[in-house]
Amino acid sequence: MMQIACPWCGVRDEPEFICGGTAGIARPALDASDQRWGEYLFFRDNPKGIHHERWRHAYGCGQWFNVARNTMTHEIRVVYGMGQCVP
Amino acid sequence: MSCVLAMGMHAEGTELELVRETNSKYSAWSLLRGAFSGQSHWTPAWRDATPKSAYDIIVVGGGGHGLATAYYLAKNHGITDIAVLERGWIGGGNTGRNTTVVRSNYLYPESARLYDFSLKLYEGLSQALNFNIMLSQRGMVTLAHSRHDLELMSRWANAMRMNGIVADLLTREQVRALAPALDMSSQARLPISGGFTQARGGTARHDAVAWGYARGASALGIDIVQNCEVQGFLRENGCIVGVDTSRGRIRSSRIGIAAAGHSSVLANLAGFRLPVTSYALQAMVSEPVKPILDTVVLSPATGAYVSQSDKGEIVIGAGLDLFASYAQRGSFSVMQNSIAGTLELFPSFSRLPLLRQWAGIVDVVYDSSPIIGPTPIRGLYINCGWGTGGFKAIPVGGWTFAHVLATGRNHELAEPFQLDRFVTGRLIDEAAGSGISH
């Protein structure tokens, strides 16, 4: 089982968290083309390796944060705050 | 086959024998004949080929979908200069990791047509392939635990009937008769109000489906190449012209990807993106016991998805680990949830030791419906997005993918399942529609 270091609560077991999918996807302008909008909504890099993703400590403090995690090994490289650049 | 045999005539005796035997039909007669030679006459069911430098068509991925694609390319379209390139061993990915359930209980007409075509192909597959896939149409019972569940299920079953697929609503007593091991006591944590069944649903031997298609394809002259990982795609003037693999460069102007959970990795190598996220889906089996459950039971409310294999193992399908993963293992917490739900339904299973637990990497798209057709790169096609339900779709996935690879035009059944629906918004949202995550 993964353990995730919540920035507020410390290291907790993964079932306390909910993954919110890929982090750092910018919403396109309202007049964006259907193509661009479809890409924003549905298309993902889905990397085999380091993935930047959002997590929420749903059964804890309820806060969102970002995680850089290896999708092959599940090893967490770094945890960083919402709105922060990837360290 | 006559030309293969004729060529064999000039070769060594053993080679000739091999060609003959791999193309010979399995029958009671061949079994009887073998009785006189200690059954020592059996030869490999298919050829483990060394790749040539070029093919008419390359199929990337030697799972059920890839092998079925190759088989139908030869069978339906007469194209046999084909290689199936498999990174590991055939059927070693999701084809060998699923819960072996086949069914076509979908809500929308597009899905109903697609999956029922698949089930019909399954119904004739042992005969068509001359390979026993051990199809057992033992039915699948979906449980309702409340009046609201029952109402939703009558909508679901009626939608299936509207699409021409027989589904029957079940009373509590009918459920009890179909699966007597269910906890129907007044203390049951999950009271059972009834449910519905698709009697034509059931199970098939998953490995046999891969091996049967491989044998059929190989007999028609197709090269099945194992331990051959695609590491890059070759393009000229925007068109696909071949692949670089761990066993060298192979040229082809038509390439089909059928790589399930690794679809995004291959798309990335080719230079486009997919609306796919890869997740680990796990399953597990208990020790074998005597027959106790002769139908497939699904309880959508608890996620319990249970059947008994012909060997006697209780097969339990769990839910997804809901974070992106390429690790072929599942979380303990998901396993625990699934077992907890199963044991509430079947208390008598509580003392069964689990023998094995594993996971496969599934390619989930937003609307839980597949993608079968062209990619943004000319000559490159993809069959993916089956998510957690690819096994039941192997025959139709192969059939429709072979059609687009052979003709360049989408098969009628596959027309709604194109990549462009994620731009037009014409989604076929089966997860929301029928309440199943496959």
Task: Look up residue B174 and give its two tokens.
Answer: 């009918």
From residue B321, alpha-carbon distances to A51, B268, B283, B303, B354 in Å are: 16, 23, 12, 13, 20
Number of neighbours of residue B23 by Cβ within 10 angstroms: 15
Q: Which pLDDT score, from 0 to 100, does residue B17 have?
A: 43
The pLDDT score that the predictor gives to residue B431 is 74
The predicted-structure confidence for A29-58, as pLDDT tens digits, reads as follows 999 999 999 999 999 999 999 999 999 999
Distance from CA of A70 to the nearest CA of B (A): 8
- Return the pLDDT at B16: 40
Cβ neighbours of residue A25 under 8 Å, at least 6 residues apart? A40
A68-86 pLDDT, tens digit each: 999 999 999 999 999 898 8
What DSSP element (H or E) covers A81?
A: none
Residue type for A35, please? Q
Local structure of residue B378 (DSSP, 8 states)? B
Contact A45 B268 (CB under 8 A): yes
HSE, CB side, 13 Å, CA atoms: give it for residue B307: 25
**Which chain B residue shows the shortest CA-CA distance from A36?**
B423
Cross-chain residue pair A41–B422, CB shorter than 8 Å: yes
In Å, how far is A14's CA from the nearest CA of chain B?
9
Query: How far apart, in whole angstroms, are the C-alpha atoms of residue A37 and residue B209?
Result: 40
Name the minimum distance, in Å, from the CA of A28 to any CA of chain B. 14
Q: How many CB atoms lie within 10 A of CB B265?
A: 18
Spell B171-208 as b/e; 16+ CB within 10 A means b: ebebbeebbebbbeeeeeebebbbbbbbebbbbbbbbb
Nearest CA in chain A to B279: A71
| Least CB–CB distance from A34: residue in B322, B325, B423 | B423
- Residues in A closer than 8 angstroms to B422, CB to CB, are 38, 41-43
Residues, chain A, total?
Answer: 87
Tell the residue number behind the tokens 């030697």, with chain if given. Answer: B62
Q: Are B67 and B219 in contact (CB under 8 A)?
A: no
Residue ranges of E strands in B191-331:
194-198, 202-203, 223-225, 230-236, 239-245, 248-251, 254-257, 276-288, 296-299, 304-308, 313-320
Give the pLDDT score at B304.
86
Q: Are B260 and B401 in contact (CB under 8 A)?
A: no
Taking only the tens place, the pLDDT of each residue in B119-171 is 999 999 999 999 999 999 999 999 999 999 999 999 999 999 999 999 999 99
**Nearest CA distance, B275 vs chain A (angstrom):** 4
Asked if B423 lies within 8 A of A35 by C-beta distance, the reply is yes
CA B270-B275-B278 angle, 5° bins: 85
| B285 bridge partner residues | B315, B356
Closest Cβ–Cβ partner in A15, A21, A42 for B275? A42
Output b/e per residue, A19-33; b: 16+ Cβ within 10 A: bbebbeeeeeeeeee
Chain A residue numbers touching B425 (CB-CB < 8 A): 34, 38
Task: For Cα atoms B34, B37, B43, give the angle at the middle one, nearest 5 degrees.
Answer: 60
Distance from the Cα of residue B82 to its chain's centroid: 21
Q: pLDDT (tens digit, 0 to 9) for every residue of chain B, 438 residues total?
A: 333 333 333 334 444 444 444 457 899 999 998 999 999 989 999 999 999 999 999 999 999 999 999 999 999 999 999 999 999 999 999 999 999 999 999 999 999 999 999 999 999 999 999 999 999 999 999 999 999 999 999 999 999 999 999 999 999 999 999 999 999 999 999 999 999 999 999 999 999 999 999 999 999 999 999 999 999 999 999 999 999 999 999 999 999 999 999 999 999 999 999 999 999 999 999 999 999 999 999 998 888 899 999 999 999 999 999 999 999 999 999 999 999 999 999 999 999 999 999 999 999 999 999 999 999 999 999 999 999 999 999 999 999 999 999 999 999 999 999 999 999 999 999 876 665 554
For residues B339 and B334, what is the distance between their CA atoms, to the nearest angstrom? 9
Say what the pLDDT of residue A1 is: 86
- Interface contact B273-A41, CB threshold 8 A: no
Q: Find, in chain A, the residue whose alpha carbon is nearest to that of B271.
A: A45
Chain B residues with CB inside 8 Å of A13's CB? 333
* Cβ separation A44–B326 shorter than 8 A: no
Do A14 and B273 count as a contact with CB atoms less than 8 A apart? no
Chain A hits for B273, Cβ within 8 Å: 39, 43-45
The shortest C-alpha distance from A35 to chain B (Å) reads: 5
Tokens encoding B152: 């939703």
Query: What is the interface pTM, i.e. ipTM, of the complex?
Result: 0.97
Concatenate the DSSP letters of all residues of B114-145 into one string.
HHHHHHHHHHTHHHHHTS----B---EEEEE-
Taken in order B126, B131, B133, B134, is the CA torsion positive or negative?
Answer: positive
Q: Quick check: B277 and A46 CB within 8 A? A: yes
CB contacts < 8 A, A to B, total 73
Q: Which of B278, B322, B422 sits opposite A43 (nearest CB)?
A: B422
Q: Which of B269, B423, B429 is the best substitution to test chain A (most A C-beta atoms within 10 A)?
A: B423
| Closest-CA distance of chain B to residue A6, Å | 16
What's the token pair of residue B280? 């680990």
User: What pLDDT, on a 0 to 100 scale, did the predictor assign at position B8?
Assistant: 35
